[in-house]
Chains A and B, each alone.
Chain A
Amino acid sequence: MTRYGMVFDVKRCIGCNACTVACKQENSLPDGVFFTRTLSAESGEYPYVSRSYLPTICNHCEDAPCEKVCPSGATWTRDDGIVMVDGDKCIGCGSCAVACPYDMRTQIEETQITNGLFGDGKLTPFEEQGYSRFECGSFTKCDFCSERVDGGLDPACVATCPTDARVFGDLDDPDSKVSKLIRDRMGRQPLPEKNTRPKVYYID
C-alpha cells in the first residue's frame, strides 16, 4: 500500500524559502498563514559563525495526535497516510493546535480573509478564488498538496525546490528515492520522543 512521506536534505537547503512562497501560492494562503517554513539557526561565535536552515512542514504522523484529540472528526487520515482537515467540520476549539508538537496548525481568522493581502478590504481575483476554500475560525494545515498528488504530481514545495532539498515519495516502496535516502543516510524523524511516528525525515 502507498504511504506518502517526505525527506528533507538539510545539507542541500539554502534557505531561499521558495518552498514557502510556492506553498502559499498553490494553497492561496492568507497573510500570516504558512503550511511550510524554512527555519534558520545560527551557531558558533564570531568570527567562526554559520547559519543553517531547517525546512519544516506537517509531519503527517502515523499516530497523529491532532487526529486523536479532534472532537468533531474534522481531522482524518487517508488510506495513503496523508492527514487531512475538513474545514466544514472543524469547530475551531484549538485542541489539535495544542496537541501538535510541531506547531503546524494555523487558525484562519476572519480578518485574514476579509482584509485581503493589501489590507484595504478589497480582495484580488486570486484571493477571491482561493479564500473560498477556508472557513473563518477553523484550523488548517498542509495536506501534502493532495490534489496535485492525486494527479500524479509532487507537492508544490517539492516541485519548486531549486536544490532538490525536498524529496517526496512512497515510504512503503523500498526502491523509492525517499526510502533509499532514509536507509542510506540514516534519516531521522523530528521529536521522536513524542511517539507520533512522523512521515517526514531529515538527513544531513
Chain B
Amino acid sequence: MFKVSLKNILRPGFAGGTFKSGYRFQKYWDTPMATAFFCGETGAGLFIVSMLMDFLPGIILGLLITGVGKTFFHLTHMGVPSKAWRALLRPDRSWISRGLWGIIFFVGFGSIHVLGVLFNVVPAGLEPVVYILAIAGAMVVVTYQGFAMSHSTAISFWSTGLMPISSMLYGLLMGSSLVLVLSALGFSISNPEHFSMLGLAQITLIVAVQICLLSLLHGAKNGSKGAQQSYILLVKDFLARPFLLGVVGVGSIIPLLILLFIPTNFMTNLIVTGCVMLGFYLFRLLVFKAGVLDPILSPADIFKR
C-alpha cells in the first residue's frame, strides 16, 4: 500500500526515472534507513528517560535498540557496509559522521555506566563524567537524524528546523511510553512519583508531536513547489490514508483520548505504546516516501517566452 509504484511515479507532473522534465521522488533513503532512524530515536529516547528515572532495564533496552537495531539497519541500507568505519572521518561537516560519533559515545559510555551500576567497576569520581557523556551521546543520537534531513535543501519538505524537533519529541515520547510498559511488566521504578510524572509527560509530548506535525504540514503547504507536492502526497494523494489514519489518527489522537478519558492500567499503557510506536514508524517511513525534488528547471520559465 505504501510502496512507490511505477504507476504512482508516472503521475502527472512527476518524471520518475524517465527522460521527462518534472518532479522526482528521492529514492535512496527508504525502509531500512527509516527503520534505522526509528530504532535510533526510540533507543536514545528510552535511554534518556530511563537515565533520568534511574531505571536500569530501560537503560539496557535503549542501548540494545540503538546499538544492535540501528546499527543493523544502517548496515543493511549501506551500499558498501565493509567501509562503514569511513563515516567517522568528517564530523566537521557531515551530520551522518557526527551521528556515528554520537552513537559511539552513547553506546560506549552508556555500557560503562551499566557496568558501573551492576558491578561497581567505575571509580566514584568518574561516575558523573560517564553519566554526562552517555547522556550527551544519546542527545546527539536522538536529534542528528533530523539535522541530517533538514540540512538537505534539495528536498524542500525536509529542509526545516522542525525535523530535529520532531525527532526529539518522538524519541522522548517513545521513551516515556516504553518505561511505563516495562514498569508495568514487573520492572519496578525506584520512585513511585515518577509514574504520574511520566503519564503527564506522555500527554504533553503527544500534544507537542501533534503541533509539530501540523507545523510541518503548514510549512510544506505554503513552501516551494516541491514541498507543496509533498503536502499533497501526504494529505490528499496515495500517502494520505497511511498518514492521516496511521500517523495522525492511530499514532496521535487515539493515544491522547485514551490517556485523557480512560483510567490507566497495564492494558491502556500497552495500547498507547503500540499506537505511538506504529504512528512514529509510519511517520519516519512516509516522510521519506514524500521526499520530492523540484524540477531541475521550470519549463514555464524557460520554454514559454
Contacts and interface: CB of A to CB of B under 8 A. Distances in A.
A37 B24 CA distance: 14
Interface in B85-116: 86-90, 93-97, 100
A161 B131 CA distance: 63
B95 A91 contact: no
B303 A43 contact: yes
A204 B302 contact: yes
Contacts of B297: 54, 188, 190-191, 202
B302 A191 contact: no
Nearest to B74: A93
Interface stretch (B53-61, B149-157, B188-196, B255-263): B149-157
Interface in A174-204: 188, 190-191, 193-196, 202, 204
Chain A binding surface SS class: loop
A20 to B, nearest CB: 8
A101 B80 contact: no
A75 B96 CA distance: 14
A39 B22 CA distance: 9
Interface string B2-34: 000000000000010001111010101100010
Interface in B269-297: 291, 293-294, 296-297
A91 B80 contact: yes
Nearest to A94: B28
Contacts of A167: none
Contacts of A65: 152-154
A107 B90 contact: no
Given A38-B19, A65-B152, A103 B24 contact: yes
B79 A72 contact: no
A39 B20 contact: yes
A90 B21 contact: no
Interface in A70-104: 70-74, 89-95, 97-103
A69 B293 contact: no
Contacts of A103: 24, 293, 296
Counting from the closest, the 9 A-B pairs by CB-CB distance are A92-B79, A137-B79, A94-B28, A72-B86, A101-B154, A71-B97, A71-B94, A71-B96, A41-B21
Interface of A: 10, 17, 37-41, 43, 50, 52, 54, 56, 65, 68-74, 89-95, 97-103, 105, 107-108, 135-139, 188, 190-191, 193-196, 202, 204
Given A39-B20, A40-B20, A92-B79, 13 more contacts: A37-B19, A39-B296, A41-B21, A68-B93, A68-B151, A72-B87, A91-B87, A92-B80, A94-B79, A100-B154, A108-B79, A137-B78, A202-B297
